[in-house]
Amino acid sequence: MKKWSFLALFVTAIAAAVFLHAQNKPLMNASSSPAGSPASDAAYCPPDDAKSACGLPSKVVIDMSNTTVQRTEAEWRARLTPEQFRVARQQGTEPPFRNAYWDSHEDGVFFCVGCDTPLFDSRHKFESGTGWPSYWQPLEKLFIGEERDVSWGMVRIEVHCKVCGSHLGHLFDDGPRPTGQRYCINSASLSFMSRADYDTWAARNSPGKSAQ
């Protein structure tokens, strides 16, 4: 009897290990995540968990020397709200479920709050359950810069606006089809324009048309 119960315990332990491994696997952002890091628990951004991957600020060095739009700190502070400045210019983060666009279902386009570049489309937005606006692709990849972010003992990909260097959020590889990507973005780094207004804006700003 003792032998059987030991065997049952052993099998249960193996099953639990396999289950936990399977649980963690799709949540890992990169195979190079250091052993013992909290990445497996954090990458899916559980609600109200301050240690979730999206919820942690970034510490990467963004090269501002090549950005098209450059402003002094005084100009940034004049343009942005304190919350927008903290998130977009100081690589901060906002609380999940308590931000402008996490639950937005309006049809339109999301612009960079720092330079008014169109970055994300509501047609690529999906319900990630994280409490932050999430997209499976950007509007135009050329406008999105990526930096490897190893802060907080995790390996993440920080994303920012390439035009002005404003921090946007992080990119994970556990998104839905067709890309499998999840751009976890701070609302504070975005502004929204309805589809009708965007169409007008795009027509006015398209190449070959002079601004009237």
Residue ranges in contact with Zn ion by CB under 5 A = 112, 114-115, 117, 161, 163-164, 166
What is the 8-class DSSP label of residue 85? Answer: I
Minimum CB–partner distance for residue 143 and Zn ion (Å): 8
Would you say how long the chain is, in residues?
Answer: 212
131 vs 145, beta carbon nearer Zn ion: 145
54 vs 112, beta carbon nearer Zn ion: 112
Minimum CB–partner distance for residue 28 and Zn ion (Å): 30
Q: Shortest CA distance to 139 belongs to which of 98, 83, 195, 86?
A: 195
155 vs 161, beta carbon nearer Zn ion: 161
Query: Would you state the structure tokens that stand for residue 175, as one six-digit string?
Result: 């998104």
Minimum CB–partner distance for residue 164 and Zn ion (Å): 3
DSSP string spanning 149-206? Answer: E-GGG--EEEEEETTT--EEEEEES---TTT--EEEE-GGGEEEEEHHHHHHHHHHHS
Catalytic residue among 45, 112, 115, 184: 184
How far is 178 from 159, CA to CA, in rounded Å?
Answer: 20
Name every residue whose Cβ is closer than 8 Å to that of residue 74 and which is 6 or more positions away in sequence: none
Burial of 21 (0-12, 13-18, 19+ CB in 10 A): exposed
State yes or no: is 184 an active-site residue.
Answer: yes
Minimum CB–partner distance for residue 49 and Zn ion (Å): 29
Minimum CB–partner distance for residue 197 and Zn ion (Å): 19
40 vs 189, beta carbon nearer Zn ion: 189
What is the 8-class DSSP label of residue 34? Answer: P
| Dihedrals phi, psi of 158, to nearest 5 degrees | -80, 140
List, by residue number, the catalytic residues: 184
